[in-house]
Chains A and B, each alone.
Chain A
Amino acid sequence: MTTFTVPMFVRGRLITDDLVPFASRLDHSFQAPDPVKHVHALPLRSPSDMADLYAVSFGEIVDVLTELGAALAFERNAYVQEAYEACLVSNPMPESILRTGYVALPAMFTRESMRELAEAQIGIDHLEGWVPRRLLDGREIRVRAFGARTLHIPAGNGGLVAGITVLRNALTRSDAIIKAPSNDPLTAMAIARTLADIAPDHPITKHLAVAYWKGGDEQLEEQLYKPEHIEKIIAWGGFASVKHVTRYIQPGLELIALDPKRSATIIGPEAFEDEDTLREVAMRAACDIGAGNQEGCVNARVIYVLSGTDEAGLAKANRLGRLVYESMLGLPDFISTTPKVVDPTLLDNVEGSRLTEDWYRVFGGEHAEGAIIVSQLDEPVHYSTLLSGRVANIVPVDSIDKVTEAVNAYTQTIGIYPESLKVRLRDTLSLFGAQRLTSLGYAASVNFTIPQDAMEPVRRMCKWIVEERCSPDQVLPLWQSPGLTPIRTTM
């Protein structure tokens, strides 16, 4: 398949006419309905059209989503298979890893995990009704989490992002317009079409639209990105795309930015206590680097090792480097493979480092299969921002201060070994910008129930509405303030 069609899904209805061609980064093209011609169909006509979502219970929404999850089974669902095939030609990830994502998709929609997500991030009672509370000043409040009219710009690295987008939208009783990414053009569509097949007239189907347009198409965006159509934009991804969206942000239109991130690793001196430990640490680090071929923001890129920088320390770091490289090559292909696409500029720089033996030791990389560069000083390579395609940099350091210097607002996950070091560092790393500290080896093992990018996006996707009851004998009435002049009548 070198060309395919990305239809427009509008609240259960499929638009497949007025096709225009689009090109993508890899050598393929696809076609989609002319977005400018059909943009008017995307937004909800009136906020009052959200009312149908409140006629169904949370339990019923979960029931439909559970059925949806079961219907997404890769081997039985032709839409999902088509989405996978489209990714094969439009996404840099290899077949085996893409497949892993699709196979995992149904598990996201199991009843227990959806309830856990809703409970942890919002509270099901707040989704279901008005939750009362009495405040110190005597007022009684009732708070409810309402859905919002949203636009999602999900990342295209793996089908799970499309899955979580649909899921979050339905659980919060929101209305979503999903802009499909060019590197995963059909997964959100496949989920939407499956939903329409099993529950064609259900409100959660009626509050889902999926379309492709080229990111940055201002003619379209200016019509759509307005407070009268959309209340919140949830944008994943690169700096340029997130920055671009900010131009439309104004009172009434909020941005939830799941913006570009990088991740790191910190390994304590305990890793070198014995050979078995070192091998396990190397394997865990290899997973953090190699999973999904280092395409994700969660993957390890620069790995700080508290080995010291004297001769013995460098020898330890180099030994770790070799073991990480070997472990990475041994990862099964549903986790990691030789990358399909590599950044030639990165490889050029790796070759430069290879020649510079005084400061760098390079393991592998001669066949673009991935490489581990071990710095022979306490500095990462100057091209650390380019690290991708299973190329990581191990940096030996004498003190933890050198590591905290490297953590900033772009740092997402930090995998740490051992646990005690993590506990010791957690209060400090958070100040510098780190957002998720996890056990070494689990960086790429993502659970969507936890906070993401230092916030709770699902909580933010809701509108938190309050109803207050203040009775004058409980809450001081302003009109009974001392010194208030009563109205004098002249009759």
Chain B
Amino acid sequence: MTTQSVQTFMNSPLTYFGESITSMHSIARAELEELQCEAMILRFAEHRQSIEMVRKLAERLGITAVDKFDDIVPLMFSHTAYKAYPAALIDNNRWDLMTRWLGKLTTYDLSQVDVAGCDSIDEWLDRLETQTPLQIVTSSGTTGTFSVIPKDVPITIEGMHIWKNMVFQTFGREPTEDELNPVVDVIWPNFSEGRFGMTRMVPWMKREFTGGDESRFHPLYAGAMDTDLMFLANKMRAAAAKGELNRLQLDPKLAARKDELIAMQQRQMTEVPEFIARMTNQLRGKRVFMTSTYNLMYNLASAGLDEGARAQFASNSAILTGGGAKGQVLPEGYMDVIREFYGGVRIQEGYAFSEHNGVHFACDEGRYHLQPWVIPFILEPESSRPLPRAGRKTGRFAVYDVVNQSHWGGVITGDEVTIDWDRPCPCGRNSLALEHSIMRFSEKNEGQDDKISCAATHEVHNEAIDFLREFQS
């Protein structure tokens, strides 16, 4: 193994594997682990210099170098690291301090970013992205804040490229030209732009999948998803949870947007049937790529079936779904409904989270096979100590992603997963895999409503939000 090949593996994994997903998931475990370990050592050495929070943590722990997989575990960030800033900084428009904080989480120097006069989250993100190579992904939190993950342009492009290869190639078959460079219509049952979660991907998705042809991109909603609005919603939830909704101080500029949201919501009533009609008529027979969460896929499918309609895309189309139920309860047999509406198209399931790169696709056995640049760990949930990499283990999922170039690759998730470290998956892939049932620790104990203690717990208060929503309307 040459240094150059390790560099290729950790900087452009798809190139390393010759753009073949079969190679990606066929590499022998021992060979891959050696490669991963080498890459991890190099990446840590690099990030210890270039990411302040990594350096500080390493100093505190007295770690100067890592040698084997488990050495990296104490250095991992909790997934909450990306939302650990005080929410008051946003309320008070302290974008200078927000920038300083973010600067400690990324390899890029943000000290020269000009945020003077900035007065909204979206504007702050704009400033960062026009003045640096950052591409920021945000995601919602339940306690009134949101995560800010400093990805960059190269990794975003690489990420989309990987998506395309994953969804169109078939494991076990060398990719054809048609699978490597397809130009397709993209069906996006979501907002047409925005920075929140997946919508951040839209411009890059257009570029990767449609050959830059704007008319081949089909969003469900015309409007942009507004980060400030999402923050407002989060803040309202958090204030309600504290019984302080009446004291919520709203920036008038932000408050005015509440009506905007309502207007957008009303418009959505007509956009859904229009979208279904477009899928079932205009896109009939076309080769498409469609991606969405289970519940949106299900809602569209069941609405379509109610009208007696079915999407009949070209059979070499690709559909990717996942994202959990996002707090919604899906009816039994929801996948059957989805399959019935979308017909003979291959529907793949993926598992991903924003703090690292890569969607892990489910095989026919329903296991999510881990991408080779992601080193998995199962931690004992309370102590966060790594469990032995042997046998079948369930615990807290953590990863070290050797590719993450602009931010730290070590992250401890809030998810409980199971990995069988010894038994290879019958699907034929050599890669390690997560069993299909993945659960958030935060959702694990819900649904038990008569456990009463007189302290107001957060989850209890969340139920109050439904009440407040009714109350407000």
Q: Which residues of A contact B (CB under 8 A)?
A: 24-25, 153-157, 161, 181-183, 214-216, 236-241, 243-244, 258, 260-262, 294-297, 299, 342, 344-345, 347-349, 351-353, 355-360, 367-368, 375, 377, 379, 381-386, 388, 405, 408-410, 433
- State how many angstroms separate the Cβ of B85 from the closest Cβ of chain A: 7
Q: Which residues of B contact A (CB under 8 A)?
A: 53, 56-57, 77-88, 100-101, 104, 141, 143-145, 238, 241-244, 247, 381-383, 396, 412, 414, 441-442, 445, 448-458, 460-461, 463-464, 467
3 closest A-B pairs (Cβ-Cβ)? Answer: A215-B450, A352-B80, A260-B456
Q: Which residue of B lies closest to A386 (CB)?
A: B458
A299–B448 contact, CB under 8 A? no
Which of A181, A236, A243, A355 lies in contact with B451, CB distance below 8 A? A181
Given A240-B463, A344-B382, A385-B241, A157:B144 Cβ within 8 A: no
| Residue from A153, A244, A382 with most neighbouring chain B CB atoms (10 Å) | A382
Residues of B contacting A381 in the complex (Cβ-Cβ under 8 angstroms):
86
- State how many angstroms separate the Cβ of B279 from the closest Cβ of chain A: 38
Bound together, the chains give a CA A241 to CA B456 distance in angstroms of 11
- State how many angstroms separate the Cβ of B438 from the closest Cβ of chain A: 15
Selected A-B contacts with CB under 8 Å, 30 pairs: A25-B451, A155-B452, A155-B454, A156-B452, A181-B451, A182-B451, A216-B449, A216-B450, A236-B452, A237-B453, A239-B456, A239-B463, A240-B449, A296-B455, A297-B454, A299-B455, A344-B442, A348-B80, A352-B80, A352-B81, A352-B82, A355-B53, A355-B78, A356-B81, A358-B100, A382-B144, A385-B238, A386-B143, A408-B247, A410-B242
- State how many angstroms separate the Cβ of B411 from the closest Cβ of chain A: 11
B452–A345 contact, CB under 8 A? no
| Residue from B247, B396, B450 with most neighbouring chain A CB atoms (10 Å) | B450
B453–A295 contact, CB under 8 A? yes
Residues of A contacting B456 in the complex (Cβ-Cβ under 8 angstroms):
238-239, 260-262, 297, 385, 410
Given A358-B101, A360-B84, A382-B87, A408:B243 Cβ within 8 A: yes
Bound together, the chains give a CA A436 to CA B145 distance in angstroms of 31
| Residue from B141, B144, B396, B460 with most neighbouring chain A CB atoms (10 Å) | B460
- State how many angstroms separate the Cβ of B467 from the closest Cβ of chain A: 6
**Known pairs A182-B451, A405-B247, A410-B243 / 17 extra A-B pairs, C-beta < 8 Å:** A155-B452, A157-B454, A157-B455, A214-B450, A215-B449, A238-B454, A239-B456, A260-B461, A295-B453, A297-B454, A345-B414, A355-B84, A358-B101, A379-B87, A382-B87, A382-B141, A408-B242
- State how many angstroms separate the Cβ of B58 from the closest Cβ of chain A: 12
B83–A261 contact, CB under 8 A? no
B56–A357 contact, CB under 8 A? yes
Q: How many A-B residue pairs have CB under 8 A?
A: 180
Residues of B contacting A388 in the complex (Cβ-Cβ under 8 angstroms):
455, 457
Residues of B contacting A240 in the complex (Cβ-Cβ under 8 angstroms):
449, 460, 463
B84–A345 contact, CB under 8 A? no
Bound together, the chains give a CA A388 to CA B445 distance in angstroms of 16
Q: Which residue of A lies closest to B57 (CB)?
A: A355
Residues of B contacting A358 in the complex (Cβ-Cβ under 8 angstroms):
100-101, 104
B78–A351 contact, CB under 8 A? yes
- State how many angstroms separate the Cβ of A354 from the closest Cβ of chain B: 8
B452–A239 contact, CB under 8 A? no
A352–B453 contact, CB under 8 A? no
Q: Which residue of B lies closest to A236 (CB)?
A: B454
B80–A238 contact, CB under 8 A? no
- State how many angstroms separate the Cβ of B62 from the closest Cβ of chain A: 15
B445–A367 contact, CB under 8 A? no
Residues of A contacting B455 in the complex (Cβ-Cβ under 8 angstroms):
157, 260-262, 294-297, 299, 388
Bound together, the chains give a CA A379 to CA B242 distance in angstroms of 14
Which of B79, B144, B243, B463 lies in contact with A409, CB distance below 8 A? B243
Q: Which residue of B lies closest to A405 (CB)?
A: B247
A345–B243 contact, CB under 8 A? no
Residues of B contacting A182 in the complex (Cβ-Cβ under 8 angstroms):
448, 450-451
Given A356-B85, A368-B382, A408-B242, A296:B450 Cβ within 8 A: no
Residues of B contacting A385 in the complex (Cβ-Cβ under 8 angstroms):
143, 238, 241-242, 456-458, 461
